[in-house]
Amino acid sequence: MTDRHLSFEFFPPKTPEGRDKLRATQRQLARFQPEFFSVTYGAGGSTREHTRDIVLEIQQSGSCATPHLSFGGDSKESVLALLQGYKDEGLKRIVALRGDLPSGMGGMAQLVYANQLVAFIREHFGDTFELLVACYPEIHPEAESYDRDIYWLGQKFQAGANRAITQYFYNPDAYFYYLEQCQKAGIDQPIIPGIMPIINFQNLVRFSDNCGADIPRWIRQRLQQFGDDSASVKAFGLDVVTALCETLLAGGAPGLHFYTMNQADTCATLCRNLGFAER
């Protein structure tokens, strides 16, 4: 089944060991021939060079790489230079985001909304890049309301975005209801579910508290009970996330985008469970 979208997201590691591990992770996941590997961009441009270096290395390895990008506190000139570099290297796609300011930078810099970044990229680079944007089936934590958050997603598409990737969620109804509401608002571009494998309970709680993703009570209770028993956490996580992905794909989701946390094994098992072909 090759018509389902598949992509994997990495973050730029801070150490040479982390970088080596990421190379091995990418090699392992490349067997599933994803449409692209995306690489996150640190708030305020903090990973600018790391993101670029990893993206270029992935691209040179023969896979498609997609950098995430936000203005953060950067100048127009430096964002243009980064984009020009990506164009020169033949990159075809960007994930365009507002991002969040790192703590301590509040008030020092103006956040540029994602619809403004999309418009900026289209103004300066035309159709050079396919542009993906973020969206939130459980609604962005700063949104004025459910409808306003969908309105701003529509504005990202109006500005020239092509597809969206969702924040992760564990309740498929949140995604299907969101799709319906988007369609009612005139949005018919593909919305790819972002999938967070369950590997470590403490980390999952920390991320979810930060980004406003809901961990349903029954999942939270089950994981809490496993405590330090990481084998049981992983086994339960695989069951839950496999079932979630099956429901999403059966319900018409265009494919899946995995938040890998730079780890290959769980995502590889999920892909096998879901019948993604392996080279």
Structure tokens at 42: 């640190």
Residues 6 or more apart whose CB falls under 8 angstroms from that of 91 comprise 55, 59, 65, 66, 67, 129
Strands 163-168 and 5-10: unpaired
Give one DSSP letter per residue of 128-186, joined into a string: SSEEEEEE-TT--TT-S-HHHHHHHHHHHHHTT--EEEEEE-S-HHHHHHHHHHHHHTT
Residue 247, classed as helix, strand or coil, is: helix
Q: Is 35 one of the catalytic residues? A: no
Q: How far is the CB of 255 from ligand FAD (least distance, A)?
A: 13
205 binds ligand FAD (CB under 6 A): no
Q: How far lies 39's CA from each of 172, 253, 258, in Å? A: 25, 22, 12
CA 161 – CA 131 distance, rounded (Å):
5
**143 near ligand FAD, judged by CB under 6 A:** yes
Compute the least distance from the CB of residue 87 to ligand FAD, in Å: 19
Contact flags string 207-246 toward ligand FAD, x per CB under 6 A: ----------------------------------------
Stretch that binds ligand FAD, among 76-84, 109-117, 119-127, 238-246 (CB under 6 A): 109-117
Binding residues for ligand FAD, rule CB under 6 A, total: 22
| Min separation Cβ 76 and ligand FAD, Å | 17
Residue among 101 and 233 whose Cβ is closer to ligand FAD: 101
**Residue 260 within binding range of ligand FAD, rule CB under 6 A:** no
String marking each residue 39-78 x if it binds ligand FAD according to CB under 6 A: -xx-x------------------------x----------
The contact mask relative to ligand FAD for 85-104 (x = CB under 6 A, - = no) is: ----------x-xxxx----
For tokens 């496999």, name the residue.
Answer: 242
Hey, is 246 helix, strand or coil? helix
Catalog residues that contact ligand FAD under the rule CB under 6 A: 40-41, 43, 68, 95, 97-100, 113-115, 134, 140, 142-143, 148-149, 152, 165, 167, 194
* Catalytic residue list: 9
